[in-house]
């Protein structure tokens, strides 16, 4: 079984020495195994291969043999075997080649077809021989099972240790490992920062709102780094939303020791079998869960509440979650349900940053059902807002005191956080000063280094103090008497807070969700088009109202009160369209599409409402003459001379083909006058010949001149 199975055909091809160890730690610590694998080159030379014909594949070092994913060396070896370039494969043992029976059998099949032998330290095997193939398959099966047995022993030991809460897991910021287990971070500034974030999430509608508040107030979040020599340090950086999500989902902050939250499962991913980690969100499915194992920053009930809030804020199209309050104009996003089918209605904006939007029920997408129905969102939002401001009337004094107390608590918490950081920076600066003063002055190298460190700590302290002073001034970390008076005034006036320009759309949505559980919308067509709105409050009460639902023809019609006001200003005060627009804007009236008025909008509204002026009453409506007294042409006059439309002449002016000037003429505020000399006339005549209107007119004239009975030949 040794020398006789290697033929000249094998020696004419190259030999591959495949080297692999499963982890980087094995590569670093098990050097003897690596040397034994490289020694297979000498074995190949002893069996007859020239040293130059032996190729070493060691690029798979530190990669597991449980599969072929990530093993580029194994893939290249299989490619060369399939193309007849390899005569023998050398490996210390079968487990180096593969610990998967399926991959091992595929490689053996390739070797048998390509007449490739497999060589280890003791024997030479021919996969084409039935006896050798059976031995290799048994070795591959044992290699796979050995990996499973090792995994079971290691996993069982880890789980047993974790069941006692003794397994050291990766811990988040705010905790340290001690001999007694997990303990709160001894740094008070770190503790305050963690507690402040959780307290803020209790009052903010979403994680993004907490991050936005942290950026506005200048709050930084700590990260404790552990070094190999056992020392640690803390760095402060702005709070990110991904970091905040990790904190909110981590049960360690709730005092629970947890192991096996994200187990590995074998799944099909893009048509390939892979082992992936699944997100275990159900606490009952975790392998180990020990509540009250250590001190927590929040309670377990608060942790569960946070998970429910995260789930509700995660927007799922047509799903059960409401989604987080965002900056879109649709105020009822996440609250609106379809009164027909019960599905959640979603906002649909007409264009990017468009003020027009609608609430749409997409119906049953799985059943290929088209849109169930939709309704304009602005009218529904105005009706619900009016209902909210009329219904919600809390006790003024109680609300005032609650708001003032909450603002005081937030300001005091922020101020303590800033002072803790300044205290820590002061300690580090004094410590650097003591180290600098304790060094021997003659040792200038060390003295210069310590001096630079001292100066750096002093700069960091000065920056922190400046940032604290800026935060107190800009973000009101400390409330003045004027601030307290403003808080009391706003607490008594909910409409003022609602309509304030500083109140964001997300804030209004959050206020709505505090009192409203859900809103059902149902279309009504008889006896008149309307939307039946059913508001369910958190108290359990239900309020119903009908909101007019105009069709497409009347949706953007000018409001009747604006039409009557225009009629009064035209007939009563005889104002021009521009003056009427200024008066309507001053009175707070809007057009049918919700925009401010201008002269053209007033003229359009007058024409459609049949509000006309006579030439005597409105001299600016008198027609413009075709030619000026000085010989210049108006747009209409030039269009008539060259047989084109006024729009074509206007394009000539914009292109600079003819000298033109915009001037006031009589009561007309701005009229284009064109100076057409011989050169300009010739130039415009050539342009007029190329005009589509001129060509159509010429063709029509030709058809009129065609004699009777003349037939066009196809």
Please give the positions annotated as active site: 22
Q: What are phi and psi of 325, to 5 degrees?
A: -65, 125
Tokens of 230: 């056992």
DSSP E strands: which ranges in 391-483? none
Strand order in the sheet with 357-361: 346-349, 357-361, 373-376
Closest-CA residue to 21 (of 58, 49, 76, 67): 58
> Mind spelling out the 3-state secondary structure of 442-462?
CCHHHHHHHHHHHHHHHHHHH
Our measurement of the distance from residue 429's CA atom to the centroid of its chain's CA atoms, rounded to an integer in Å, reads 40
Contact 237, 228 (CB under 8 A): no
Give dist(CA 114, CA 78) in Å, integer.
Answer: 11
Q: CA 249, 250, 252: angle at the middle one, nearest 5?
A: 150
Closest-CA residue to 99 (of 156, 59, 72, 139): 139
Tokens of 684: 């415009």
3-state DSSP helix/strand/coil % of the chain, to nearest 5: 50, 15, 35
Closest-CA residue to 252 (of 286, 214, 219, 278): 286
Give dist(CA 53, CA 502) in Å, integer.
Answer: 77
37 Cβ contact list (under 8 Å, min separation 6): 17, 19, 20, 91, 92, 96
Tokens of 108: 């053996």
Give dist(CA 489, CA 467) in Å, integer.
Answer: 30
Tokens of 383: 């009706």
DSSP annotation of 627 reads B
Strands 288-290 and 336-338, by their bridges, are unpaired
DSSP E strands: which ranges in 64-144? 86-90, 117-119, 124-125
262 Cβ contact list (under 8 Å, min separation 6): 277, 278, 279, 280
208 Cβ contact list (under 8 Å, min separation 6): 241, 324
Give dist(CA 171, CA 182) in Å, integer.
Answer: 9
Check whether the bond before 527 is cis (ω within 30° of 0). Answer: yes
Provide the b/e sequence for 389-407 (b: ≥16 CB within 10 Å): eeeeeeeeeebbeebbeeb
Contact 108, 127 (CB under 8 A): yes
Give dist(CA 518, CA 523) in Å, integer.
Answer: 17
> Mind spelling out the 3-state secondary structure of 332-382?
CCCCEEECCCCCECEEEECCCCCCCEEEEECCCCCCCCCCCEEEEHHHHHH
Give dist(CA 703, CA 361) in Å, integer.
Answer: 56
Give dist(CA 459, CA 428) in Å, integer.
Answer: 11
Strands 542-548 and 530-537, by their bridges, are antiparallel
Contact 375, 359 (CB under 8 A): yes
């Amino acid at each position: 079984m040794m020398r006789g199975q290697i033929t000249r055909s094998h020696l004419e091809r190259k030999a591959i020495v495949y080297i692999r160890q499963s982890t980087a730690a094995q590569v670093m610590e098990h050097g003897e195994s690596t040397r034994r694998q490289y020694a297979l080159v000498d074995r190949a030379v002893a069996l007859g291969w020239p040293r130059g014909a032996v190729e070493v594949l060691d690029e798979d070092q530190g990669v597991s043999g449980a599969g072929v994913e990530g093993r580029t060396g194994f893939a290249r070896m299989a490619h060369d075997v399939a193309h007849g370039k390899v005569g023998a494969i050398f490996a210390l043992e079968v487990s180096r080649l593969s610990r998967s029976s399926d991959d091992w059998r595929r490689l053996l099949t390739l070797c048998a077809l390509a007449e490739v032998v497999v060589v280890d330290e003791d024997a030479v095997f021919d996969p084409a021989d039935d006896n050798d193939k059976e031995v290799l398959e048994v070795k591959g099966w044992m290699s796979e099972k050995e990996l499973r047995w090792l995994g079971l022993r290691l996993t069982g030991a880890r789980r047993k240790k974790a069941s006692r809460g003794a397994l050291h897991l990766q811990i988040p910021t705010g905790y340290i490992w001690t001999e007694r287990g997990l303990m709160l971070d001894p740094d008070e500034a770190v503790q305050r920062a963690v507690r402040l974030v959780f307290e803020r999430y209790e009052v903010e509608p979403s994680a993004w709102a907490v991050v936005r508040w942290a950026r506005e107030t200048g709050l930084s979040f700590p990260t404790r780094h552990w070094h190999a020599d056992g020392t640690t340090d803390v760095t402060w950086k702005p709070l990110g939303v991904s970091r905040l999500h990790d904190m909110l989902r981590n049960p360690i902050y709730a005092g629970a020791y947890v192991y096996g939250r994200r187990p590995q499962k074998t799944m099909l991913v893009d048509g390939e079998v892979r082992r992936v980690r699944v997100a275990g969100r159900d606490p009952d499915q975790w392998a180990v869960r020990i509540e009250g194992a250590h001190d927590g920053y929040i309670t377990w009930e608060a942790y569960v509440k946070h998970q429910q809030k995260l789930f509700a804020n995660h927007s799922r199209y047509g799903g059960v979650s409401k989604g987080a309050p965002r900056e879109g104009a649709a105020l009822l996003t996440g609250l609106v349900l379809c009164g027909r089918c019960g599905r959640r209605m979603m906002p649909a904006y007409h264009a990017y940053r468009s003020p027009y939007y609608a609430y749409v029920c997409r119906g049953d997408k799985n059943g290929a059902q088209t849109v169930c129905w939709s309704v304009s969102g602005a009218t529904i939002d105005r009706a619900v807002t009016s209902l909210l401001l009329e219904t919600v009337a809390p006790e003024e004094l109680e609300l005032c005191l609650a708001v003032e107390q909450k603002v005081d608590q937030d300001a005091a918490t922020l101020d303590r956080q800033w002072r803790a950081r300044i205290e820590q920076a002061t300690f580090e600066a004094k410590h650097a000063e003591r180290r600098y003063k304790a060094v021997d002055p003659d040792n200038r190298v060390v003295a210069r280094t310590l001096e630079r460190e001292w100066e750096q700590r002093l700069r960091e302290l000065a920056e922190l103090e400046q940032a604290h002073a800026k935060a107190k001034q800009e973000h009101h970390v400390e409330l003045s008497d004027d601030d307290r008076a403003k808080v009391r005034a706003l607490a008594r006036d909910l409409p003022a807070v609602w309509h304030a320009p500083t109140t964001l759309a997300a804030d209004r949505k959050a206020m709505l969700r505090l009192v409203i559980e859900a809103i059902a919308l149902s279309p009504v067509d008889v006896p008149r088009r309307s939307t039946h709105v059913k508001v369910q409050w958190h108290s359990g009460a239900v309020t119903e109202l009908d909101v007019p639902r105009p069709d497409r023809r009347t949706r953007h019609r000018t409001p009747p009160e604006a039409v009557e006001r225009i009629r009064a200003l035209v007939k009563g005060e005889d104002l021009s369209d521009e003056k009427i627009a200024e008066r309507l804007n001053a009175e707070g009236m809007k057009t049918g599409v919700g925009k401010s008025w201008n002269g053209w909008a007033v003229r359009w509204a007058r024409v459609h409402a049949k509000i006309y002026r006579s030439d005597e009453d409105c001299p600016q409506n008198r027609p413009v003459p075709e030619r000026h007294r000085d010989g210049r042409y108006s747009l209409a006059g030039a269009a008539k001379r060259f047989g084109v439309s006024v729009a074509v002449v206007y394009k000539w002016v914009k292109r600079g083909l003819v000298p033109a000037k915009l001037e006031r003429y009589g009561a007309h505020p701005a009229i284009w006058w064109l100076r057409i000399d011989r050169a300009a006339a010739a130039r415009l005549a050539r342009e007029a010949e190329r005009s589509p209107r001129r060509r159509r007119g010429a063709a029509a004239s030709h058809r009129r001149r065609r004699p009777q009975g003349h037939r066009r030949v196809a």
